[in-house]
Amino acid sequence: MKKPLVAISGCLVGEAIRYDGQHKRHPHVTHELSKIFEFYSFCPEVAMGLGIPRPTIKLMDKDGETHLVDSKDSSIDHTKLAHKTFKTHTDGIEEAHGIILTKNSPSCGLDPVKVYGEKSGIPFRKTKGLWAEHLCQEFPLIPKIDSGRLYDDHLRDTFRTQVLVFQDFQNLKKEAKDLIKFHEVYKYYIFQYGAAPLKALGRICAGVSKSNLKEKFAEYEEYLFGTIFQKNITDKNRTNVAEHVAGYFKGHLEGGDKKYLHDNIKAFHSGKLSFESLIVLMGFLTKTHNQKYLKDQKLFSLYGKH
Ligand code: SF4
């Protein structure tokens, strides 16, 4: 399979395009994610024609609306130009399986960025950067992450797997059996988000047929990427997943091995073992005990080795 395509703020991959002519190379992007993703870089401010270097800009509240203005002279308002540029600057991004955006940028910031008061000149609320907001509206289902979150191992890894799942979904042939198979092989991956979301997706899948194929695919995609993936994966849910998977080895493991497996699940639950290590152990047991159903579970390929 081809590497997933991830659209990314160009400064994060080392392009010297920032207001000061510098880059904002991100260590996890260049040393780790570049090995598994193909990058498609963009810079909305350069696309707007603001130049390199350029005067700094900030977000400003004007009558309740968010504007993009020059930091020193707020009468220089780039908002109209920004919206006009953004309409065409999304070319190519619709093909992406993930989006990474630069923290704190008034254009790219995905996590809340300061918005300054027009009269007070001081920040009094926060919102997404203008370009980030545009991307969220245009491509609500593509997994996204703010570069500040890439320093968190758990959030970075969740993003990595979400991108791979999104790519897999986009590559489906769009036949009823493909949706059913997808749901089956991702069962324990999705279970990390809880039993209820998994069941809800199962109900969407249940009635899929030739006559409602388009609607069912759209409903499934919307619910998985637009709702479930917006929630957090918790250790409690992961423990639940591990206990369900362990159930497949009932009757296959001797007393000592059974205890070893359950001790490892406990160790994960108490934070002494990583989830990846637990998955590697379970993947090994799946192979040695030839558990056909488990073998196909994407949980093992997504976390077991990468
Ligand atoms: Fe980086 Fe975005 Fe600023 Fe361009 S506009 S330099 S891509 S943060």
Ligand 1 pocket test, pick from 15, 71, 102 with the greatest ligand atom count within 8 Å of Cβ, gives 102
> Using a 6 Å CB cutoff, which residues line ligand 1?
9-11, 17-18, 43-45, 102, 105, 107-108
CA-nearest residue for atom 3, ligand 1, is: 18
Q: Do 215 and 295 sit in the same domain of this protein?
A: no
Q: Do 203 and 250 sit in the same domain of this protein?
A: no
For residue 97, the model assigns a pLDDT of: 98
Q: Do 71 and 187 sit in the same domain of this protein?
A: no
Tokens of 88: 């065409």
Contacts of 91 (CB under 8 A, 6+ apart): none
Domain range for 51: 5-151
Domain presence at residue 274 = yes
For residue 235, the model assigns a pLDDT of: 96
For residue 122, the model assigns a pLDDT of: 97
Q: Which of 199, 230, 261 is the last residue of a domain?
A: 230
C-alpha of residue 191 to centroid of ligand 1, in Å: 36
CA-107 nearest atom, ligand 1: 5
Spatial contact of 98 and 141, defined as CB atoms under 8 Å apart: no
Q: Do 71 and 189 sit in the same domain of this protein?
A: no
Domain presence at residue 16 = yes
- How far, rounded to the nearest angstrom, does the alpha carbon of residue 152 sit from its chain's CA centroid? 13
> How many other CB atoms sit within 10 Å of the CB of residue 18?
21
Q: Do 16 and 123 sit in the same domain of this protein?
A: yes
C-alpha of residue 33 to centroid of ligand 1, in Å: 19
C-alpha of residue 18 to centroid of ligand 1, in Å: 6
Q: Do 79 and 9 sit in the same domain of this protein?
A: yes
CA-102 nearest atom, ligand 1: 8
Ligand 1 pocket test, pick from 57, 101, 108 with the greatest ligand atom count within 8 Å of Cβ, gives 108
C-alpha of residue 16 to centroid of ligand 1, in Å: 10
Q: Do 197 and 243 sit in the same domain of this protein?
A: no
Q: Which residue has the tokens 């849910």?
A: 237
Q: Do 26 and 140 sit in the same domain of this protein?
A: yes
For residue 305, the model assigns a pLDDT of: 60
Q: Which of 230, 249, 264 is the last residue of a domain?
A: 230
pLDDT tens series, the chain, 306 aa: 899 999 999 999 999 999 999 999 999 999 999 999 999 999 999 999 999 999 999 999 999 999 999 999 999 999 999 999 999 888 889 999 999 999 999 999 999 999 999 999 999 999 999 999 999 999 999 999 999 999 999 999 999 999 999 999 999 998 999 999 999 999 999 999 999 999 999 999 998 999 999 999 999 999 999 999 999 999 999 999 999 999 999 888 888 889 999 999 999 999 999 999 999 999 999 999 999 999 999 999 999 764
Domain presence at residue 158 = no
Domain total for the chain?
3
Domain presence at residue 166 = no
Phi, psi of 162, rounded to the nearest 5 degrees = -60, -40
Q: Do 135 and 68 sit in the same domain of this protein?
A: yes
CA-105 nearest atom, ligand 1: 8
C-alpha of residue 23 to centroid of ligand 1, in Å: 9
Domain presence at residue 90 = yes
Domain presence at residue 293 = yes
Q: Which of 214, 230, 246 is the last residue of a domain?
A: 230
Task: Please choose, from the candidates 77, 137, 147, the residue with its C-alpha nearest in 3D space to the C-alpha of residue 108.
Answer: 147
Contacts within 8 Å (CB) and 24+ apart, 14-21: 15/41, 15/43, 16/52, 17/43, 17/45, 17/46, 17/52, 18/52, 18/53, 19/45, 19/52, 19/53, 19/54, 19/55, 19/56, 19/57, 20/53, 21/52, 21/53
Q: Do 112 and 20 sit in the same domain of this protein?
A: yes
Domain presence at residue 157 = no
Q: Do 178 and 199 sit in the same domain of this protein?
A: yes
Spatial contact of 273 and 131, defined as CB atoms under 8 Å apart: no
Output the pTM of the full model. Answer: 0.96
Domain presence at residue 265 = yes
Q: Do 225 and 263 sit in the same domain of this protein?
A: no
Spatial contact of 10 and 100, defined as CB atoms under 8 Å apart: no
Ligand 1 pocket test, pick from 29, 43, 101, 113 with the greatest ligand atom count within 8 Å of Cβ, gives 43
Task: Please choose, from the candidates 11, 21, 14, the residue with its C-alpha nearest in 3D space to the C-alpha of residue 105.
Answer: 11
C-alpha of residue 71 to centroid of ligand 1, in Å: 16
For residue 304, the model assigns a pLDDT of: 73
C-alpha of residue 102 to centroid of ligand 1, in Å: 7
